[in-house]
Amino acid sequence: MILPPHLTADDLDRYTAQVFTTGPETARAVAPFTGAALPAVPQSSAADVALAAGRARVGQGAWAARPLSDRARFALDFGELLLAESDKLVDLVQWETGKSRIHAGIELIGVASVAAHYGAEAAGYLAPRAVRSGVPGIVQARVTRHAKGLVGVIAPWNYPLFLAVGDVIPALVAGNAVLSKADSQAPLTLLAARELAVRAGLPEDVWQVVAGPGSRLGQAIIAQVDHLAFTGSTATGRRLAAAAGERLISTSLELGGKNPMIVRADANLDAVVTGAVQACFASAGQMCIGIERIYVHESLYPAFLEKLVKATGEIRMGASYDYDVELGSLTSAEQLAVTVEHVADAVAGGATVAAGGRARPELGPFFFEPTVLTGVRPGMKVYAEETFGPVVAVYPYVDDEDAITRANDTEYGLSASVWGRDLAAAHAVAARVQAGAVNINDGYLSAISSLSAPMGGMKASGVGRRHAADGILRFTETQTTTSQRVSTPYPSRSKKYLNGYLKATRLVVLTQLKAARRKARKDIA
């Protein structure tokens, strides 16, 4: 087996030894660059999931009892180790997903940034806070946060560091133990990160990793955990949410997207084209927040299409562990098949391939050219279904109302992009787009990299948010504690006393309403 440049056989032995399993079964994925088998990874059973969960729960109590400052320091140490071992980790991401090195490197920097963010901000997010009580001056009310207990994390193959480990970090900092399912295509990346977490000071029991197909392990994980963080397809998310609902455990779900870009009449075309190429084709289009639909004002449409086709044709493709290519491979035969099917179906229905449109087997088994389509219409698969490949459809539109209506004509609502020089007008458009994040004069990166802002989807694109306060508070339970200086008995049952009590209480509430109205007027002004 030919290994990527910075990895050794000893590295692989250490990584695979971390899978929690009691059986002999192993499985191998396929390396996208070559089609050769990747290293064998031990496989877990449903019984192993229960055992791993039990071990994690044993360690969780002591971990949660540590000062928050210790857990935050772990996050910072972990982030530094991720950067120190970046060559090996980026090799693994490329080996398992087929990404170009630039896109794998951006992923690593992203997860290290998440570690830095929660290492610095967790104390503020999790701090107890005093709130106004129902009887100010007599009753004090305090809100505190407590760890859920055991968090299950199921993440996809397309971002095996940023999505999988990025959810683990805040869960651990909040005081939880974590049970991760390593994706069958990209288990080594997650296992390498887990090894670094232990080196950074995390007790081994607190983060357990099982490996195996979701059909075998998904339900078993839900049966054991107190919260499920899932990133993946909307169809799978619905099934997992239903199963979690049976146990009444909380979930956070980031699901699919068919993300639009709106190019207004006053946009800078050269800037838009650069942004579109990045947003549509990064990681070979296998990105839940990537752009798959572009709506261009009719006055700019011909010029924009010409520039986009030219820029798309200049993208350098290839299988390389260096920075000499811009676009890598699709990750699997299944993803290539979906991409080929969507393009072929569109062409059969009358759409035009303006750029790309072909598989490139001479570069590797799963390569597909970055593709621009025009003339896409309802009924074509690529029109409404998520392709998750390097394919974008471009449409002209008449005015803002037309663009907004068409951008929102989807079950999804994950991410969107609006371009224009008039920022006030662009913000007005963005406010009406139904998406959890809208990037103005950028494709997707500015929102996902703003770690102090929550990230997630509307509609069928998910429930809950990652990043910012939302990203760590989802892994906690809220507890309200009240204390009284003196006893406040319930009112007497006598009519005379009860009538007086209700009159006095009514006066207090009326005063509160008037004060709230004055505050609202002041805030609006």
Catalytic residues: 254, 288
- 32 touches 364 (CB < 8 A): yes
Beta-strand (E) ranges in 329-432? 352-355, 371-374, 391-397, 412-413, 415-419
Burial of 374 (0-12, 13-18, 19+ CB in 10 A): middle
Within 10 Å of residue 371's Cβ, how many Cβ atoms? 26
CA atoms of 411 and 181, how far apart (whole Å): 28
Burial class of residue 34, CB neighbours in 10 A (0-12, 13-18, 19+): middle
Give 281-318 as a DSSP string. Answer: HGGGG--TTSEEEEEEETTTHHHHHHHHHHHHHT--B-
Q: Given the DSSP bridges, would you call strands 259-263 and 291-297 parallel, antiparallel or unpaired?
A: parallel
Q: Is the distance from CB of 253 to CB of 236 less than 8 angstroms?
A: no
* Closest to 98 in 3D by CA, of 284, 359, 313: 284
Question: Exposed, middle or buried: residue 480 (CB in 10 Å: 0-12, 13-18, 19+)?
Answer: exposed
What SS3 class is residue 336? helix
**Ordered strands of the 177-182 beta sheet:** 207-211, 177-182, 150-154, 227-231, 250-254, 462-463
Residues 6+ apart with CB under 8 A from 143: 128, 129, 130, 131, 478, 479, 480, 481
Which residues in 71-188 belong to E strands, given as ranges?
Answer: 129-131, 139-147, 150-154, 177-182
- Give 310's contacts (C-beta < 8 A, 6+ positions apart): none
Alpha-carbon span 77 to 118, nearest angstrom: 12
* Token representation of residue 207: 């983060």
Say if CB 445 and CB 291 are below 8 A apart. Answer: no
- Which pairing describes strands 139-147 and 150-154: parallel, antiparallel, or unpaired? unpaired
Q: How far apart are the C-alpha atoms of 180 and 201, rounded to whole Å?
A: 18
Please name which of 73, 48, 56 lies closest in space to residue 176, comparing C-alpha atoms.
56
Identify each DSSP E strand in 352-501 by its residue range. Answer: 352-355, 371-374, 391-397, 412-413, 415-419, 437-440, 458-459, 462-463, 476-484
> What count of Cα atoms within 13 Å lies in the side-chain half-sphere of residue 252?
25
